[in-house]
């Protein structure tokens, strides 16, 4: 059967009508969800000292095991006469092997497990570095790149013993977890410890129907006011044990609740998720908002952007260096079987 071309053209033209109807329907859904929560604007000037930390790592498979390299930076900024001045900087690095020893037969260590282990170690080093600069030099805002949930997740591996064989020392994954908790305990005493995430699938405001960020991004695209303007979403206080039981196996995290909100630092730009390891009042969030806004002339906190660039590792150069010093590099093997 041949469809006349003029009939097809008519249907194609009707697609525009369907698109408009779909967008209108979606806009109503977004508006209905967001109308349950206040969007809090703010416009006043404050000064504050801001510390930020970030790190990057690489895992390289060699003939003698999985080699890791971590590099990170913590900076402290202060604004004087409307100029951001760096008043402190600390770098940290580490390298070594990741050793996974099976405790049960037929265990397979996928490459994703090595990344999971190294992520935990990198988070622990970040927390410790940020804690050190905060205690030594003092700051008003302590910034970490990522969400509170991602930092507290339990990454211990079933049916195996995992070790970080650093050039400095040897640590079991259990020891790293314990050290992370101790760093949390100290850092949580700092009132404005802020976890900032650029992406998240969390759906606390939508009761899990949609990711919160998805709804707020649609609000920006549809220009739904006031949610597309600068400001932050009415905060929610979340019970750690009830909500995070599937992420945290043993509840030794030194807090019973955390606060979540979403912030838009300039009109029309994407939102960021902010999480705090304790209950935050609206006044507290107003202070954090204005402090972040002060350091975000382009819509993203400059201290986090700075440490991200400084800590980035050049993968190809690092691999070439290892080959030059005689370390044989493996490629093409997707998983390692441990018996």
pLDDT at 335: 38
Cα dihedral value 176, 182, 186, 189, nearest 10: 110
- 88, 117 contact by CB (below 8 A): no
- Give yes or no for residue 17 having a pLDDT over 60: yes
Output the CA torsion sign for 146, 152, 156, 158.
negative
In a domain, 84, yes or no: yes
**Which tens digit of pLDDT belongs to each residue from 136-191?**
999 999 999 999 989 988 888 888 899 999 998 999 999 999 999 899 889 888 88
- Give yes or no for residue 332 having a pLDDT over 60: no
In a domain, 39, yes or no: no
pLDDT at 298: 87
In a domain, 180, yes or no: yes
| Single pTM value for the model | 0.87
pLDDT at 2: 54
Mean pLDDT of all residues in 223-250: 84
In a domain, 20, yes or no: no
Going by their DSSP bridges, the two strands 170-172 and 160-166 should be labelled as antiparallel
pLDDT at 26: 87
In a domain, 37, yes or no: no
Indicate the angle between helix axes 212-221 and 5-34, nearest 10 degrees: 120
pLDDT at 264: 95
**Top-ranked range on mean pLDDT: pick from 17-26, 159-168, 237-246:** 159-168
* Cα separation, 190 vs 141, whole angstroms: 9
Task: Locate 334 and state its tokens.
Answer: 């997707």
Mean pLDDT of all residues in 69-90: 91
Of the listed ranges 8-22, 110-124, 296-310, the one predicted with least confidence? 8-22
* Domains identified in the chain, total number: 1
- Range(s) of the domain holding residue 220: 49-324
**171 strand-pairing partners:** 164
Mean pLDDT of all residues in 106-114: 82
- Give yes or no for residue 338 having a pLDDT over 60: no
In a domain, 58, yes or no: yes
Q: Which residue, 221, 189, 55, is CA-closest to 126?
A: 55
In a domain, 166, yes or no: yes
Token look-up 């002060």 returns 294
| CB atoms closer than 10 angstroms to residue 51 | 28
- Give yes or no for residue 132 having a pLDDT over 60: yes
pLDDT at 334: 37
In a domain, 298, yes or no: yes
Q: Which helix (H) or strand (E) holds 198?
A: none
* Cα separation, 237 vs 295, whole angstroms: 26
**Which tens digit of pLDDT belongs to each residue from 201-218?**
999 999 889 999 999 999
CATH number at residue 115: 3.30.2170
């Amino acid at each position: 059967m041949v469809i006349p071309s003029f009939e097809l053209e008519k249907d194609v033209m009707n697609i525009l009508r369907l698109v408009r109807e779909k967008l209108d329907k979606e806009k109503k859904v977004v508006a209905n969800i967001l109308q349950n929560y206040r969007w809090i604007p703010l416009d006043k000037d404050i000064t504050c000292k801001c510390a930020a930390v970030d790190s990057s790592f690489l895992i390289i498979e060699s003939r003698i095991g999985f080699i890791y390299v971590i590099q990170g930076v913590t900076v402290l900024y202060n604004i004087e006469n409307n100029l951001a001045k760096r008043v402190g900087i600390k770098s940290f690095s580490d390298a070594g092997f990741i050793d996974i020893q099976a405790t049960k037969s037929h265990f397979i260590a996928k490459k994703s497990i090595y990344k999971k282990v190294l992520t935990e170690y990198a988070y622990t080093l970040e927390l410790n570095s940020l804690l050190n600069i905060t205690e030594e030099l003092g700051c008003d805002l302590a910034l970490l790149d990522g969400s509170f949930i991602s930092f507290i997740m339990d990454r211990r591996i079933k049916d195996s013993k995992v070790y970080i064989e650093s050039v400095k020392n040897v640590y079991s994954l259990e020891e790293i977890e314990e050290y992370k908790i101790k760093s949390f305990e100290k850092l949580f005493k700092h009132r404005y410890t802020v976890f900032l995430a650029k992406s998240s699938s969390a759906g606390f405001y939508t009761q899990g129907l949609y990711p919160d960020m998805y709804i707020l991004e649609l609000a920006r695209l549809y220009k739904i006011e006031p949610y597309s303007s600068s400001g932050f979403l009415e905060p929610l206080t979340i019970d750690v044990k009830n909500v995070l039981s599937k992420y945290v196996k043993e509840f030794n995290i030194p807090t019973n609740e955390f606060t979540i909100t979403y912030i838009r630092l300039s009109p029309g730009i994407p939102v960021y998720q902010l999480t705090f390891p304790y209950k935050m009042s609206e006044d507290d969030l107003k202070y954090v908002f204005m402090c972040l806004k002060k350091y975000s002339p382009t819509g993203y906190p400059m201290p986090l952007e700075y440490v991200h660039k400084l800590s980035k590792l050049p993968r190809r150069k690092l691999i070439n260096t290892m080959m030059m010093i005689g370390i044989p590099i493996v490629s093409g093997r997707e998983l390692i079987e441990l018996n």
